[in-house]
Amino acid sequence: MLETLAYGYGLLEGPRVDSNDNLYFSDVPNGGVYRRSPSGEISVAIPKRRGVGGIALHADGGLVVGGKSICHVKDGQTRILLQRDDIPGFNDLFTDSAGRVYVGTLRSDPFKEGARTPGELWRIEGEGKATEMYGGVGLTNGIGFSPGEKIIYHADSAGPHLIVHDVAADGRMINRRSIAQMTGGTIPDGICVDEAGCIWVAVYGGRCAVRYTPDGKIDSKIDVPAKAVTSVCFGGKDRRDLYIVTADNTEVPERKGTVFRIRVETPGVVVPPARV
């Protein structure tokens, strides 16, 4: 049963749940990162910041967020982790067990039609210290690791498909391939991975979230009352709460961007905190 938890926003992105079951999410066009407590109270975690496509919890407290830069915001103070003059923006991001941050670059306006300049995936190891892992990402979106971090999945909304790499022992990403090719105007947006190694994908334009097996076969689908389903994440003490965020609401249009939640059978993988 799909629950409605919050609404009245623009395009929602970057959902992430902490150990106390607080849900963080961003409103990309209107600005701000919000925190929803388990009781349903919503507060502002980071005011005004626009273009936040990804959020990570930091081991020292605060949040790592995207936008024109990747930064760590704690107690109202902002520490820049990665910013480059040649990169106009960053979108979704994820972390590994070492606490490094992986983020995709936006080299074209994601909201404009036409030819795109492909972006890359970068790994942030410290302040101002980052390594390009690979390029050729048409429109970067959700990022996630398989259990054990042997495989990385990356939603390319321009594909529209998931880019898959094996993670070598030295951290290089090899054996590039594509799964979950989408058609009919549907595109993959945010993703999250469960303990079975399956990938939940927010299907923008598809009115659903879909669970893919590691080889890209559709396993199950959750219908969502929104055309623009933008991202997904796990929460709850057993990590079986699947949060789904959107940019609209087709059942009650005036609600606009909405946060939904539903119970699923397989728990999500543990998402490590950032440590950079």
Position 80 scores a pLDDT of: 97
Would you call 213 helix, strand, or coil by DSSP? coil
DSSP reduced 3-state for 249:
coil
User: Among 45-59, 66-80, 96-110, where is mean pLDDT lowest?
Assistant: 96-110
Give percent of the chain with pLDDT exceeding 90: 96
pLDDT at 116: 79
Q: Is a pLDDT exceeding 80 seen at residue 2?
A: yes
pLDDT at residue 108 greater than cutoff 80: no
Q: What is the pLDDT of residue 4?
A: 98
Question: What average pLDDT does the segment 95-110 reach?
Answer: 92
Residue 111 in this model has a pLDDT that exceeds 80 = no
- Identify the band that residue 165 occupies on the pLDDT scale cut at 50, 70 and 90: very high
pTM more than 0.85: yes
199-215 pLDDT, tens digit each: 999 999 999 999 999 99
pLDDT band at 126 (very low <50, low <70, confident <90, very high): very high
Map out the domains of the chain with their CATH numbers: 3-263 (2.120.10.30)
pLDDT tens-digit series, residues 16-64: 999 999 999 999 999 999 999 999 999 999 999 999 999 999 999 999 9
- Spatial neighbors of 153 by CB under 8 A, at least 6 apart, are 142, 143, 144, 145, 146, 162, 163, 164, 191, 193, 199
The number of beta carbons lying within 10 Å of the beta carbon of residue 84 is 12
Taking residues 155-180, report their average pLDDT: 97
Specify the DSSP class assigned to residue 2. P
pLDDT band at 109 (very low <50, low <70, confident <90, very high): confident
On average, the pLDDT of the chain sits at: 96
- Give the model's pLDDT for residue 55: 98
Q: What is the pLDDT of residue 230?
A: 98
What's the pLDDT score for residue 30?
Answer: 97
Nearest 10 degrees: Cα torsion 33, 36, 42, 48: 0
The pLDDT-based confidence of 190 (bands split at 50, 70, 90) is very high
